[in-house]
Structure 1
Amino acid sequence: MPNSSLTTLTARGLLLDMDGTLVNSDAAVERVWRAWAAEHGVDFADVLKVVHGRQGYSTMAVLLPDRPMEENHADNRDMLARETAETEGIVPVPGAPEFMAALAALPHALVTSADIGLATARMDAAGLPMPDLRVTAESVSASKPDPEGFLKGAVELGFAPADCVVFEDSPAGIEAGRAAGMRVVGVGERAAELEPTAHVPDLTRIRIEALPDGAIRLHLTD
């Protein structure tokens, strides 16, 4: 592959974001949030700058800084219902089915800003298996870019943060992974300029190797 380079990382556990990393839900997210922006008089271009990777109430707090947080949480419940029902156009990120199959017997967890209902709807729509271990919106008190979700994921897997690698696509998610003291593989165009530890255009560029001592070696081609 011309002008490509290979990066190798070794980890004990992998922590996987969902939207933009495993599942391409951009069309569904943008339909729902475009309607929200119109309802609240917010420029949709401003929404796009912050919506990816965050819980809805956190996005609202950035866009409507003077609105009481309890209103954001109430609005977020409505948005979750809308997003859970909006599955048209949701597809796996290229290489996601093979990537998840390669991880099936290896330590990994989903760490997503979606709640369990939304996560299940989107993983099902994309035809991807739901990991046995997952940290969803119900599991944390703070949204990405806070590192709480990734730190909880590491605890669930039983590994130190330094032994985990995060897969993320958004600025909020990459910031959260770094703040957790983890290495971050950036996936997709959004992640390319965010200075992750390594970057891949999609999941077809990753080869998973299970090592005899139980560690996981990642072979990444950019």
Structure 2
Amino acid sequence: MPTVLHAKALLLDMDGTLVNSDAVVERCWRRWAVRQGLEPAEVLRVVHGRQGHATMAALLPDRPMAVNFAENATMLAEETADTDGVVPVDGAPAFLAALARHPHALVTSASEELARTRMAATALPLPPVLVTAERVSASKPDPEGFLKGAAELGFAPEDCVVFEDAEVGIAAAKAAGMRVVGVGPRAAAHAPTVHVASLAAIRVEAAPEGGLVVTAG
């Protein structure tokens, strides 16, 4: 039985939700793990959805944050330069096309340059509002990014539905008081409001009384 959600605006994560960038993320973070003497598989369990410096702080808690910020800048440059294997998530082009005339924002832990690069590499249109790493003071699971996206679109948190794939992103959406559609295999274990295998299972339509009707499944 499909789940129907009513909303006035949608807030969209990027990596893992709209864009499959796993190949790049794994290449870059495996190299970083080896340099730090860490097990790559353990690093990859932590990295998804967070800003890079937050991942580093979680894995190397005794290291000065100044070092993490410096290495994060290097990591962002590596990831931005590498688009090999970056592809749209199944259903993403049609999903974003359906949102073209409706309020929606991108809320991502990526930098603006990285977000623009990956969206361009997949030929996906950029939402009208971008909340990127530079625009928040705290990484997901902090709700700041989603709250900022809702405010810039002019809607209350309870009127927004978030689309996310990662544990920290789902936690951030819940902390913001928003409903969340979990997209893909990573999301299933983290109790989103509703879970779908991909965006191909989502239909978005204008509601007769205003707002949006999101049908999942």
Which category of TM-score, normalised to the shorter sequence, fits these structures?
over 0.9
Which residue of structure 1 lines up, in the alignment, with residue 155 of structure 2? 159
SS where residue 158 of structure 2 aligns? helix
SS where residue 80 of structure 1 aligns? helix
Does 2:196 match 1:200?
A: yes
Q: 5+ residue gaps in structure 2? A: none
- 1:58-137 equivalence runs, <5 A: 58-137=54-133
Q: Deviations over 1:96-115 (max 9, x none)?
A: 00000000000000000001
Deviation at 1:49, TM superposition (A): 1.2
1:193 & 1:131 partners in 2: Cα distance?
A: 28
Deviation at 1:213, TM superposition (A): 3.3
Normalised by the size of structure 2, how large is the TM-score?
0.99
Counterpart amino acid of residue 195 in structure 1: A
Normalised by the size of structure 1, how large is the TM-score?
0.97
Counterpart amino acid of residue 79 in structure 1: M
Which has the larger displacement, 36-45 or 174-183?
Answer: 36-45
Deviation at 1:214, TM superposition (A): 2.7
Percent of aligned pairs with the same residue? 65
Counterpart amino acid of residue 150 in structure 1: F
2:113 & 2:210 partners in 1: Cα distance?
A: 32
Which residue of structure 2 lines up, in the alignment, with residue 18 of structure 1? 14
In the comparison of the two structures, how many residue pairs are matched? Answer: 217
1:39 & 1:26 partners in 2: Cα distance?
A: 20
Q: 5+ residue gaps in structure 1? A: none
2:7 & 2:173 partners in 1: Cα distance?
A: 14
SS where residue 193 of structure 1 aligns? helix
Deviation at 1:42, TM superposition (A): 1.1
Which residue of structure 2 lines up, in the alignment, with residue 180 of structure 1? 176
Deviation at 1:59, TM superposition (A): 0.3
Deviation at 1:131, TM superposition (A): 0.9
Which residue of structure 1 lines up, in the alignment, with residue 39 of structure 2? 43
Counterpart amino acid of residue 132 in structure 2: T
Deviation at 1:48, TM superposition (A): 1.2
SS where residue 30 of structure 2 aligns? helix
Counterpart amino acid of residue 213 in structure 1: E
